[in-house]
Structure 1
Amino acid sequence: MINDGCCEQKKLENLKEIDTKTLFNKFKQTKDLEIRNELIERHLYIAQILSKKYVNRGIEYDDIYQVACIGLIYAIDRYDLDKGFEFSSFATPTIIGEIKKYFRDKGWAIRVPRRIQELSKKINNSKVVLSQKLQRSPTVEDIADYLNISKEEVLEAMEASKVYTPQSLDITYDSNSDDKDVNLSELIGEEDFYFRKIENNDFLMRIVDKFNKVEKKIFFDRYFNKKTQVAIAESLGISQMTVSRVEKKIMGKLKKEFQKTLE
C-alpha cells in the first residue's frame, strides 16, 4: 500500500513536469483521469475569469464558478489539438455557453421566492383569459377577483416579475449633465477586459511550457512571487549573474513569441 501511494505521488509529480500540449495528446490517447485532472487544474483560471463576468446578476459567484468548471471539463473532453485551435479559444465559448444556459434555466435574474414565481405565472395566464372575456386590459382588482387573492398579492407578484423581463438596449436614462438622454447600448459597448486577460494568460502558459525547469522557476519566482535575483540564486545554488543571464534569455523568448503573434 505504501509503495502504491509512493508510485501514485510520483506519477502526479511527473505529470506536472509535462507540457500542456503533450498532456492533451496523452489524454486524447488514454483518457486517463489523472491527466484530465491535471489539465483541469492548469486551466481553472479560465473558469475563474469568465465567472467574474457574471457576478452581481442575482446568482452567487460560487454557483456560477461551479457551472464554469463543468464547462471547462466539457471543453477538455472535446478538445482536439490537431485542429489547430488554442485551448482557451476553444474553451471560452463552451464555458460561456454553460453559464448562459444556467442563467436561462434559473429563469429569474435575481432570487425570487417560488410562491411569487408561481403566482406571477398565474397572473400572466389570467391576463390572457380576462382580456378575451372583458374585451379590455384587466385591472389589478379584476385579476385579484379572478384568482381569489388580494390586490396586494397581485401587485407584489407583478413588481417581482419585472426582474424577469430583459431591458431593451434602446431604453434611455436621464443624464446628469447636458440635459441629454443616455442610451443603454452606449453604456455597455466597451471592450471586454476579461477576454484580454484570458488571451494574456494563455500566451504566457504557452510560452512557459517551452521553458526548462530552471527557466520556469526563475520566471515564476521573479515575476509572480516577486523574489529578488539574490534570493532565487540562493534557492537554486547558482550565482546572481547566472540568474540575471537566464532572466534576459527568458525576456528574449517572450519578446520573440510576442512578435510572432503580431505577424
Structure 2
Amino acid sequence: GLIKAIDRFDPAQGVEFTTFAIPTIAGEIKRFFRDTGWMVHVPRRLQELRITLAKATDELQQLHDRAPTTAELAEHLSMDEAEIREGIVAGRAQTAGSLDIGSGSDSDDGPTLGDRIAFEERDYELVLSREALKPVIAALSERDREVLSLRFGSELTQAEIGQLLGYSQMHISRVLKRVLGELREALLTGE
C-alpha cells in the first residue's frame, strides 16, 4: 500500500503525502483481507456483490423494519433473484461455521452439526477384518479355502460339504475348527 501510494502520489496536486497515503494504504490492506480472508475462493464479482447486498439489506431493513426478501433485494438492486441468491451463498463462504456449535437458538442447545452429519459406519469393522484376513486366507491350502467358501459363501452344512468333497462331516468339522482358529489368531495378533 505504501509503495502504491509513493508511485501514485503527485506533489503537483497540492496535497500532503500523508493525506494521500493513509487512505491508499488502508484501501490496500482492506483489499488484501477481502481477497485472501475467505474460507473458499470466491470470484471478485461475488465478493463485491456480497458487500452491495449487505448495504442494500441494511437500507431495506431500516425502511421496512424487517429483513428484506430476496425479491425485494432484487428489485432494489435491479438484479434478478438468482444473482441475489448467488451473492448470499457466496457471502457464507467468508467464514466457516464450527462443527461444535449447537443447532438451537442458544449455541449450546441441540445436537451439533458434527453430531448431525457424522455417524458411525456399521460395517467399518467388518471391512477392516476382511482386509486383514485376505492375506491369511490366500495363504491357506486350496482345500481349506474351498471348505470355507462352501460353508460361509454357499452356506452349506458340514454334512453337505463332506458329501460334496468326499469327506465325513467330522473331518469337515475339524478342518473348519482348525482354519477358523488360524483366522481368529491372525485377527487377534494382527499377523
TM-score by length of structure 1 reads: 0.39
- Post-superposition Cα deviations, 1:181-236, rounded to whole Å, max 9, x if no partner, equal 33333456665545423321112212201210110011122123211112212322
1:157 aligned to 2:80?
no
Identify the residue that residue 99 of structure 1 maps to in structure 2.
none
Residues 141 and 221 of structure 1: is their aligned pair in 2 closer, same or farther, counting only changes over 3 Å?
A: same
- What stretches of structure 1 of length at least 5 have no aligned partner? 1-117
Deviates more, 1:208-217 or 1:251-260: 251-260
1:170 aligned to 2:100?
yes
For 2:96 and 2:155, locate their aligned partners in 1 and report how far apart those are by CA, in whole Å: 45
Matched-pair contact (CA < 8 Å) for 1:171–1:184: yes
- Structure number with bigger Rg: 2
Residues 180 and 125 of structure 1: is their aligned pair in 2 closer, same or farther, counting only changes over 3 Å?
A: closer
Identify the residue that residue 55 of structure 2 maps to in structure 1.
137
For 2:85 and 2:146, locate their aligned partners in 1 and report how far apart those are by CA, in whole Å: 60
Residues 160 and 227 of structure 1: is their aligned pair in 2 closer, same or farther, counting only changes over 3 Å?
A: farther
- What stretches of structure 2 of length at least 5 have no aligned partner? 1-41, 58-72
Identify the residue that residue 100 of structure 1 maps to in structure 2.
none
**Local SS of the residue matching 1:215:** helix
1:210 aligned to 2:149?
no
For 1:122 and 1:245, locate their aligned partners in 2 and report how far apart those are by CA, in whole Å: 74
Matched length: 133
For 2:122 and 2:92, locate their aligned partners in 1 and report how far apart those are by CA, in whole Å: 27
Residues 231 and 122 of structure 1: is their aligned pair in 2 closer, same or farther, counting only changes over 3 Å?
A: farther
Identity of aligned residues (%): 21
Residues 256 and 238 of structure 1: is their aligned pair in 2 closer, same or farther, counting only changes over 3 Å?
A: same
For 2:56 and 2:174, locate their aligned partners in 1 and report how far apart those are by CA, in whole Å: 80
Residues 163 and 239 of structure 1: is their aligned pair in 2 closer, same or farther, counting only changes over 3 Å?
A: farther
Identify the residue that residue 249 of structure 1 maps to in structure 2.
178
TM-score by length of structure 2 reads: 0.51
Following superposition of structure 1 onto structure 2, how do residues 20-99 of structure 1 map, counting pairs within 5 Å? none
